[in-house]
Amino acid sequence: MQPDFPVYSSPTSLAGESHRVLRNTWMMLGLTMIPTVIGAWIGTSMNLLFMAQHPLLSSLLMLAAMFGLFMGIAANRNNSLGVVLLLVATFFLGVMLGPILQFALHLTNGAQLIGMAAGGTGAIFLTLSAIATFSKRDFSFLGQFLMVGLVMLILASIANLFFHVPAASLAISAIAILIFSGYLLFDVSRVIHGGETNYVMATLAIYLDVYNIFVNLLNILIAVSGNDRR
């Protein structure tokens, strides 16, 4: 009978696996932009007055639908259905961009603001991804701080749905950009250091970081630089 010995993975094999997951994540992230753009185009042509009139109910319905999709993605992350559900989720999130894009496009400089938000989001993404990739530092220590910040952000956002304070909305958006930028650094670092070995889940996490940075950056630009409505 052969004795059992512990099996160790070499650093080289672990690094190779991390690079494979990261490569697949970048490819999948690029693919998710297609349903997002299609969904956003559909969202801007829909009548979403209900969402404006009932922001709390709309937010709760959207969260329920998204959490259902997220649970489906997590349960099927190791098969093709997980990829399909991920694309469905990004399409749905694209549609949910409809209200803010509709509002922006009714401003005289709305298209420019959307472009600036997209460019700023891209710059943040490239910069933080490069830092996580080339610094070789493990940013997993940020996890607990970011989770506390996210919970506080959600509570503040829910409270502002009732009080409608414009200054608070801007502050919430600014804090959200900081928190999701931190999550972007954290999520990319997890893939690089082997904390996340499934590219579907890695793509979902990084996609949500990028999505929230874009939405909140656009919200700030509209409030600060938006011209008169057409």
pLDDT per position as a tens digit, 156-173 = 988 887 777 788 889 999
pLDDT score, position 121:
97
Confidence tier at 178 by pLDDT (50, 70, 90) = very high
pLDDT at 181 over 80: yes
Mean pLDDT of 107-115: 92
pLDDT tens per residue across span 127-145: 999 999 888 788 988 989 9
Mean pLDDT of 90-102: 92
pLDDT at 4 over 50: no
pLDDT at 45 over 70: yes
> Are the beta carbons of 52 and 100 closer than 8 angstroms?
no
Helix residue spans in the chain (DSSP H): 11-44, 49-53, 55-75, 80-95, 98-105, 110-134, 143-163, 166-192, 199-225
pLDDT score, position 126:
95
SS3 state of residue 140 = helix
DSSP state of 106: T
pLDDT at 179 over 50: yes
**Of 18-22, 33-37, 110-114, which range is least confident?**
18-22
pLDDT at 6 over 60: no
Model confidence, pTM: 0.88
Q: Domain coordinates of the chain in residue numbers?
A: 12-225
SS3 state of residue 42 = helix
> Are the beta carbons of 109 and 226 closer than 8 angstroms?
yes
